[in-house]
Structure 1
Amino acid sequence: MPRILAPLFSATTYARWLHLVIGLVFVGVVLMVYPGIEGWSRGELLARAVPVDAALLGLAALVPAMRRAEGVQARLLLVPDREQDIAVEPSCGWADRRRTAAWLVGRVVLGWLVGGASVLVPAAVLDLVARPEQAVFGLRPGGEGGEDGAGGPSGTVGSGWVLLLAPVLLFALGWLVVWAGRLQLAMAVRLLGPSPAERLAAAELRAERLLERNLLARELHDSIGHALTVTVLQAGAARELGDPAFAAKALEVIEETGRRAMDDLERTLALLRDPGDPGGSGGPGGSGGPGPDSGHGHGGEDARERPGIDRLPALFETARAAGSPVEALVDVPSGALPGVLSREGYRIVQEGVTNALKYAPGEPISIRIAVRDGSLELRCANALRPQSARSHGSSPRRGGKGLRGIRERAVLLGGEATAGAGAGEWVLTVRVPLRLGG
């Protein structure tokens, strides 16, 4: 019983009923304008009004904004389970206009039927309640057919049964509204829902946003992970040595590393807060992913702030301050790298140095970066610590998020990356073409 009665007391049902009644209002307005409601039979009115209504609705569907207006109204009053099922975009082609025209005609016809029932049924119920004896079969006004000629026992019994029709009619009307509202919603989803082109565009947008967020997460992993690794190593070394001069230098390195990490964090969080800002994320390349350098996504000023190959000396100094000797050879002519490649190259080297500091602290690190045969080649190697010297925190690398991020960066840039142990070293090599397709 609750399942039968619940829809009749739902606010959604009456919101949909209001949406249906608007169709009746449209028909009524048209009838009053043409051909008028005086002097015509019901059949003549329908014969003259239907072509006019259809023509007006067809013309309205030609206006691109009509589809948007109908979509907004349907979302508000039909209360779909998912608002995305009903589009709110203007018509962008004749297919959308045809679907909008079909929706308008179907909506008005269904609204006219339900709206007419919403007027006639309550009127009939009021008439039954006011004059039940006139609705009793076999009775006439004045009590003919009753025992006493004035509405005796038989008239009383008949009136009682007739009164029971009132709640039945109202219940039927309520469920007519419920089912008509559900049918109207199904029509809206089918005729106002996103077109195949819009669904494809939405899927592409979701994929771009997912890629962008993955790139931002990778950016944070590289930057914050490096900063935390350096900070932990510096603090641990300062505590072990107990040298005031070294402790002061370690604090200076920690401060500078933390400041750069905070800048990266603030920039990334700003992009996450406002992903639709044209000067913010802008696209899948917005967080350091590959893409045209001119549309890198962070805006020109932010792209210049992000570190590139030219910032590697500071990175190497940080590693040296953490206790790991760094031998670096950077053979890259000035201006030879596109901006995106310079920034991605920095992040790749940063991750390689971070892994070396994390898994082999104090061991020498060798860096080689060069441009050869139209490609950027990077090699980062560090001596493996003896098994007996490995602590719990410096276990062999097994392809964690950092190495996976390096491979993803390389692949998205059209290159490749490999990493593994050999000849007593852990070696990371990356080769990326200077231009896609090169």
Structure 2
Amino acid sequence: MRLLLGRRARLRWLHLIVGGALLMPYFLVGTVIVGSYSSDANVFSSPANQFTAFAFALPMAAVTGLFPLARPLSVAAARTLCGIPAQVLAEGLARSRQARIRTAGWFTLHVALGGVISGLTLALTPFAVAVMMLPFVAGVRDSPALGLPSAMDRPWLLALAPFAGLAMLVAMAGCAAAAAAVLAGRAIVLLGPTPDDRLAAAERRAADLAVRNRLARELHDSVGHALSAVTLQAGAARRVLDSDPDFVREALTAIEETTRRTVGELDAVLGLLRRGEDEAQGPALDALDGLLDHCGVPVAYTAKGSPELVPRAVSREAYRIVQEGLSNALRHGGSGARVELRIAVDERELEITMDNPLPGRAAVVRPGGGRGLRGIAERTVLLGGTTRSGPDAAGVWRLTARLPLHSPRQENR
């Protein structure tokens, strides 16, 4: 009984009735076409004419299903009334030819089965109820509308009439359930995502992932660097708080400048969320002096060429690479580590070289850490460049990044 009259069965039956209602305009046009050449004064009096009008209606319904808006409407109806899981159905308008053809097939199947079940429901329900009333209402037995044979006056036939009427209703419910099952079974194929839809969804996920990765890199390089510098400077100031007030004053000044600069960088990172990746502006090489003055380690900086003339996209990524390199030097070497930074610019590329002493002991591994060098590599790859890091023969840790000034990848950023 639950399969025939449960909540899902009732909703799917309603979905078929909706399909029958959608078929009616096309069916009426079909009756007009049949009436134009039929000799019958009443087109509906002949079952053959009705089936012919039904046959004319289906191609017209299929044409309607080719419109792009037909798919989201069909998906919404199938999801709500058929109980089809949302994740297996396509989203949005039917843009491609294959998607429109599939939607037209679904819409045609929906109105066809809906027309049959709607007609069966409207015709059989009152007839079955009348048959069930035969033993109890004499006027029903004499009604010419039922067209019952005179043999129905026999007592044993009248006694079976209620069971026959009930069997008709059960059979009708079974037909509706079977038609709904066929319709629901084809939903995944006809209303599911096409290969083009899956490709577009994969491209959207890749774009979203790229944006999230860039946000993660920006936050790691800006906020992570600031926190590392502030932590080391505050720790050094605490140790000499009583013996060296001048150093404490300088450390507090550096902490203040670092946090002020980081707040500005955080606003730029949040701009990626507010305005979109391409519109957001972050610090570039023209802000490098402020970074070097308050980075927490002494830096010997040498510039060759004109870093201020580097394209903005390359300049922003170069700033972040330098910032992450300083963070690594500060984290692994402490505030006493001396960093040598060289930036060379020619007609084709920008080269960043950073040297700092190798740490005397292994660095403390932070939970979730270890993404700095990976972030640098990702930045250079996105610009079409290369990076290399590791111990050098001179006994220092060397980070080298080469960024082309102009490449197709930069034009797409």
Please, what TM-score do these two structures have when normalized by structure 1?
0.76
Which digits, 9 at most, give the CA deviation of each residue in 1:83-132, with x for residues without a partner? 56233314444x44433332332121111122233334533442343225
2:390 is the counterpart of 1:420: yes
Tell whether the 8 Å contact from 2:26 to 2:60 is kept in structure 1 after alignment. no
1:285-341 residue CA offsets vs partner (Å, 9 max, x unmatched): x2xxxxxxxxxx2x1xx32xx11011111111112xx2x221011224155311111
- The answer to whether structure 1 residue 187 and structure 2 residue 157 are counterparts is no
Equivalent position amino acid for 2:293 in 1: E
* SS of 1:45 mapped into structure 2: helix
The answer (yes or no) to whether the contact 1:358–1:394 under 8 Å persists in 2 is no
State whether residues 307 and 345 of structure 2, in contact with CA within 8 Å, keep that contact through their aligned partners in structure 1. Answer: no
For 2:248 and 2:167, the matched residues in 1 are separated by: 88
Matches within 5 A, 1:17-416: 17-32=13-28, 34-35=31-32, 40-51=45-56, 53-83=57-87, 85-93=89-97, 95-131=98-134, 140-142=151-153, 144=154, 151=155, 159=159, 163-164=162-163, 169-242=168-241, 243-269=244-270, 271-272=272-273, 280-281=275-276, 286=277, 297=278, 299=279, 302-303=280-281, 306-319=282-295, 322=296, 324-333=297-306, 335-361=308-334, 362-372=336-346, 374-387=348-361, 393=364, 400-416=370-386
- Greater Cα offset, 33-42 or 415-424: 33-42
Matched residue pairs, number? 385
Which residue pairs with 2:2 in the alignment? 5
Question: Structure 1 residue 370: deviation in Å?
Answer: 0.6
Q: Which amino acid aligns with 1:88?
A: G
- Three-state SS of the structure 2 residue aligned to 1:393 is coil
Percentage of identical aligned residues: 34
Could you tell which deviates more after superposition, 216-225 or 243-252? 243-252
Task: Specify whether residues 132 and 266 from structure 1 end up closer, same or farther in structure 2 by C-alpha distance, changes over 3 A only.
Answer: farther
- Give the Å deviation of 1:32: 4.8
CA distance in 1, matches of 2:4, 2:250: 73
| One-letter amino acid matched to 1:109 | A
The match for 2:38 is none
Q: Distance in 1 between matches of 2:100 and 2:13?
A: 25
Q: In 1, distance between residues paired with 2:267 and 2:83? A: 39
Structure 2: gaps (5+ residues) = 36-41
CA distance in structure 2 between the partners assigned to 1:263 and 1:163 by the alignment:
83
Instruction: Name whichever of 31-40 and 215-224 sits farther off.
Output: 31-40
Q: Deviations for 1:369-399, whole angstroms, at most 9, x for unmatched residues?
A: 1114611111111112334xx6x6389xxx9
5+ residue gaps, structure 1, are: 145-150, 275-279, 287-296
Amino acid corresponding to residue 12 of structure 2 in structure 1: R
Instruction: Please say which of residues 422-431 and 263-272 is displaced more in the overlay.
Output: 263-272
What TM-score do you get using the length of structure 2 for normalisation?
Answer: 0.81
Task: Say if 2:3 and 2:9, in contact at 8 Å, map to a contact too.
Answer: no
Alpha-carbon distance change, 309 to 268 in structure 1, aligned in 2, over 3 angstroms: closer
Deviates more, 1:426-435 or 1:36-45: 36-45
Q: Is the 8 A contact 2:132 2:164 kept in 1?
A: no
CA RMSD of aligned residues (A): 3.3
Give the drift of 1:368. 0.6
Cα gap change, 1:129 to 1:59, in 2 (>3 Å) = same
Deviation, structure 1 residue 356: 0.3
Q: Which amino acid aligns with 2:249?
A: A
Distance 2:4 2:377 in 1: 55
1:47 to partner: Cα distance: 1.6
Displacement after TM superposition at 1:250 (Å):
2.3
Alpha-carbon spacing, 1:270–1:177, altered in 2? closer, same or farther (3 Å): farther
Counterpart of 1:289 in structure 2 is none
More displaced, 62-71 or 162-171? 162-171
